[in-house]
Amino acid sequence: MRVLLSLLLALVVAPAWAGPALDRLSLPKGFHIAVYSDQVPQARELAVGAKGTVFVGSMDAGKVYALTDTNHDGRADKVRVIATGLQLPVGVAYHKGDLYVSAVSRILVLRDIEDHLGDPPKPQVVYDKYPTETHHGWKFIAFGPDGKLYVPIGAPCNICDKDRDYAKLTRMGPDGTGLQDVAYGIRNTVGFDWQPATGKLWFTDNGRDLMGDDVPSDELNRLDRVGEHFGYPYCHQGDVLDPEFGKGHNCKDYVPPVLKLGAHVASLGMRFYTGRQFPGHYQGAIFVAEHGSWNRTKKSGYRVMAVRLEGGKVASYEPFITGFEQDEQAWGRPVDVQMLPDGSLLVSDDLAGAVYRVTYDKRGR
């Protein structure tokens, strides 16, 4: 029952016109969005290999996908399944020729993957001692500038106190050794990245449910030192004590968010933009994929947002792609964002089963 509930919360029943409907989307002037591939059911995290292969984790029958654009026309013409039968292999991370995949309690690796796309190797186990719960058990993963793999452990519930066994971020060496806790009080982060200028880790976190339509907010956080606690389950959004677990606690004892993203928007993948294709004011900005609410009276999220920073502080928080949801019906749900070497931006969509590519033409065409 818990597995079924988790999957229901993650997915939305598609309306009759489900599928990529790009004419419904709005972007700033000069930007264009096109289908990179519409053959990736339940597409989740994205990673890009050294040779340009786009890897996609998914919730589709335990599959991991590899997309290649062999004729360099901006659209994948080959879609391969490189792993199957895994448990919710949502997370993918490319590191020195190898593809790391999260599968709830296990971290797996496919060695030298770009040289074996047509005959992929059997996944090898790197680490297999993460919790087995599937409620917030699927994992976004990424390698940090320290060469270590960062892996979250989400809370196995909407709201509960599991001390420091859950609701945290961990890291390990590429070989699975040296496991270390990095941060605590994180309900469910499904997106993080390191700011190029400072090397600091920023991450999204999903707020709890069942406190109303407008509280608590999802969070955009920054880790300044290892071991910081971001409040869950005692304090939400930096200033709201939990009605059940907040007694005896003070929000001032926890790290507040850098930015409140809005209640129930389901903020997931986020990346710093370091490319040169987009206008200069996007340099160093954070793109955030907001998957969208599932239990709010009026839907929120269902968009990609841009967070611009100045001096380490938020200067603006503005819509970048909207239109995945209209008239309280959603045809798409953004999950992750990932930059390609040419500076274009990929966006995964698990409801439409697609990956999109956003480009910019300064002439506005």
Q: For the segment 73-90, what is each residue's pLDDT rounded down to a tens digit?
A: 999 999 999 999 999 999
How would residue 7 be classed by pLDDT, with cut points 50, 70 and 90? very low
Give the pair of three-digit tokens for residue 52.
């340009």
Q: Residue for token digits 């409620």?
A: 135
Over pLDDT 70: what percentage of the chain?
94
Give the burial string for 192-211 (b: 16+ CB within 10 Å, else e).
bbbbeeeeebbbbbbbbbeb
Q: pTM of the full predicted structure?
A: 0.94
- Check residues 362 and 251 and name the one with the higher pLDDT: 251
Tell me which residue of 323, 269, 264, 331 sits closest to 294, measured CA to CA. 264
Task: Specify if 12 maps to a domain.
Answer: no
| CATH for 164 | 2.120.10.30
Q: Which two tokens stand for residue 153?
A: 């452990």
pLDDT tens-digit profile of 172-210? 999 999 999 999 999 999 999 999 999 999 999 999 999
Q: pLDDT category, 19, cuts 50, 70, 90?
A: low
Residue 365 has a pLDDT of 54
Q: Where does residue 95 rank: exposed (0-12), middle (13-18), buried (19+ CB within 10 A)?
A: middle
Position 161 in a domain: yes
Per-residue pLDDT band for 18 (boundaries 50, 70, 90) equals: low
111 in a domain, yes or no?
A: yes
Instruction: Look at residue 17 and tell me if it is in a domain.
Output: no
Q: How many CA atoms lie within 13 A of 242 on its CB side?
A: 21
Cα(202)–Cα(215) distance, rounded to whole angstroms?
22
DSSP reduced 3-state for 8? helix
Q: Which of 225, 156, 212 is nearest to 188 (CA)?
A: 156
Q: How far lies 356's CA from each of 77, 261, 332, 337, 365, in Å?
A: 14, 23, 11, 9, 18
Tens-digit pLDDT profile for residues 307-336: 999 988 999 999 999 999 999 999 999 999
CA neighbours closer than 13 Å in the CB half-sphere of residue 302: 23
| pLDDT cut 90: percent of the chain above it | 93
CA distance 145 to 224: 15
In terms of residue numbers, what domain contains 167?
2-6+30-360
In a domain, 85, yes or no: yes
The tally of domains found in the chain comes to 1
Give the pLDDT confidence of 31-66 residue by residue, as tens digits.
999 999 999 999 999 999 999 999 999 999 999 999
- In this prediction, residue 6 carries a pLDDT of 44
Q: Is residue 21 part of a domain?
A: no
